[in-house]
Amino acid sequence: MRLKHFNIEPGAQIFLACSDISRLRILNLIFTNGEMCITDLERILEFTQTKTSRHLVYLKNAGILSSRKLNQWVFYHLKDEVYDIIKLILQFLMRDPVLSQDQQLFKTLYTNRDLALYKLKIKPLSQF
């Protein structure tokens, strides 16, 4: 179920969550590739585990992300309810060189079989 209308409180949470460059980079990777594991995000973004985890928890608490556990990995994905609003936000940023570089690094690491997504035979979803 996708949100068609929402009140100011959830809207403010979404916009506050998108006010940080690190969280926008994480959201762009997850939006573009379907779901991502924290270790893959750390590797692509060159963040520490603590920083990545902190931002993922923030996005999860804001109601943007959900997660599922598979073996020792936790995979994060966008909630269906916020897909449309996140898509609109990221469309304005799609030509940003940092976000493009992140996606290119994802493709390189995925092709080189360095990511948990590949090791578990999970295909990334291209949504852009």
pLDDT tens-digit map of 99-109: 999 999 999 88
CA distance 92 to 76: 23
- Helix, strand, coil distribution of the chain in percent, nearest 5: 60, 10, 30
- What's the pTM value of the predicted model, to 2 decimals? 0.86
Cβ partners under 8 Å of residue 115, min gap 6: 37, 40, 43, 106, 109
Radius of gyration of the chain (CA): 14
Residue corresponding to tokens 């092709």: 111
The tens digit of pLDDT for each residue in 84-104 reads: 999 999 999 989 999 999 999
CA distance linking residue 55 with residue 6, whole number of Å:
23
Structural domains of the chain ordered from first start: 8-118 (1.10.10.10)
